Amino acid sequence: MTLKRYREKRHFEVTPEPSGPDPASTRLSKSTPVTKKQPALKYVIQKHRASHLHYDFRLEWNGVLLSWAVPKGPSLDPAVKRLAMQVEDHPIDYADFEGVIPEGEYGGGTVMVWDKGTWIPDDPDVDSSLRKGELKFTLQGAKLKGSWVLVRTHGYGQRADRSWLLIKHRDRYAGTEDIATTQPRSATSKRLLAEIARAGGGDAEKAATGDPPVAKAPATAKGLGAPRTKRAAAATRKAAQRRR
Ligand code: MN
């Protein structure tokens, strides 16, 4: 695994994205099986309003973030299989990247750290699971938890080998909540895409098309419309109790 493709696609003098470790000084280590003593492996999903809205699903492995672009985002419903196209490995530092990639650059648009945490592979031999095209794991994120699987599809065409499905396993974290819509804010900054774009000098109007309409509802309309966030919902409930 290498960051060559990642670096080739980007101009680091223009984009704020991390360039990753210096290739001259760092050799990415060969795979070693996970043992209990190794530090937890990072997991992140970045919501990315580029030419199209998608969710970048990333798992730390072998000194890089293995990456898949999930157009519709993750689903908590085990009956729903979400297409996940494997893309170039990203540097570990990328897990903390939230901001604006200039228009005209690769992936130009707004990036949000939508979910963040750690992951545990079911089988410590992750390389073997990847070769077999079935990677089962547990997520310990702020939003996504429990058992999941990535399964390589037997599609056709040039990128058939890069095409996977992201599926939730049946467990207590499974459900029918449309989590991408109900929890649209950043796991780290709590901002919406439009807010990240505005702060980063990006195109807030374009970014806002990636935010769910309910999130943009005016907060001033007391008792009208759906509450914007869990916190807002709790405040609404409290206010209702006080009125009683
Ligand atoms: Mn992306």
Tokens in use for 134? 């079935």
Q: How far is the CA of 108 from the centre of ligand 1 (A)?
A: 9
Say whether pTM exceeds 0.85: no
The string of pLDDT tens digits covering residues 138-183 is: 999 999 999 999 999 976 666 678 999 999 999 999 999 999 999 9
Q: How far is the CA of 36 from the centre of ligand 1 (A)?
A: 32
* pLDDT attached to residue 213: 83
Q: How distant, in Å, are the alpha carbons of 20, 53, 132 from that of 56?
A: 17, 10, 22
pLDDT digits (tens, 9 = 90+) for 38-93: 679 999 999 999 999 999 999 999 999 999 999 999 999 999 999 999 999 999 99
Cα 4 to ligand 1 centre (Å) = 17
Share of the chain above pLDDT 90, in %: 74
Residue 210, φ and ψ in degrees, nearest 5:
-95, -10
**Tokens (6 digits) for 51:** 């030419």
Question: What is the pairing mode between strands 163-168 and 64-70?
Answer: unpaired
Beta strands in the chain (DSSP E): 41-49, 53-61, 64-70, 81-90, 99-101, 109-121, 134-141, 145-152, 163-168
Q: Which of helix, strand or coil describes residue 134?
A: strand
Distance 214 CA to ligand 1 centre (A): 24
Distance 238 CA to ligand 1 centre (A): 39
The pLDDT score that the predictor gives to residue 161 is 81
How many other CB atoms sit within 10 Å of the CB of residue 200? 18
Report which secondary-structure segment, H or E, holds 195. helix 193-199
pLDDT at 225: 45
CA–centroid distance, residue 56 to ligand 1 (Å)? 5
**Contact partners, residue 123, CB within 8 Å, separation at least 6:** 129, 136
Q: Residues 6 or more apart from 221 whose CB is under 8 A from it?
A: none
Rounded to whole angstroms, how far apart are CA atoms 146 and 76?
A: 10
Cα R_g (the chain), whole angstroms: 19
> Would you say residue 241 has pLDDT above 50?
yes
User: What DSSP string describes 42-97?
Assistant: EEEEEEEESSSEEEEEEEEETTEEEEEEETT---S-TT-EEEEEEEEEE-GGGGG-
Query: What's the CA-to-centroid distance between 5 and ligand 1, angstroms?
Result: 14
Q: How confident is the model at residue 123 (pLDDT cuts 50, 70, 90)?
A: very high
Tell how far the Cα of 98 is from the centroid of ligand 1, in angstroms.
12
CA of 107 to the centre of ligand 1 (A): 6
Tens-place pLDDT, residues 228-237: 555 555 655 5
Q: How far is the CA of 177 from the centre of ligand 1 (A)?
A: 24
Confidence (pLDDT) at 226: 47
pLDDT at 34 over 90: no
Q: What pLDDT does residue 217 have?
A: 52
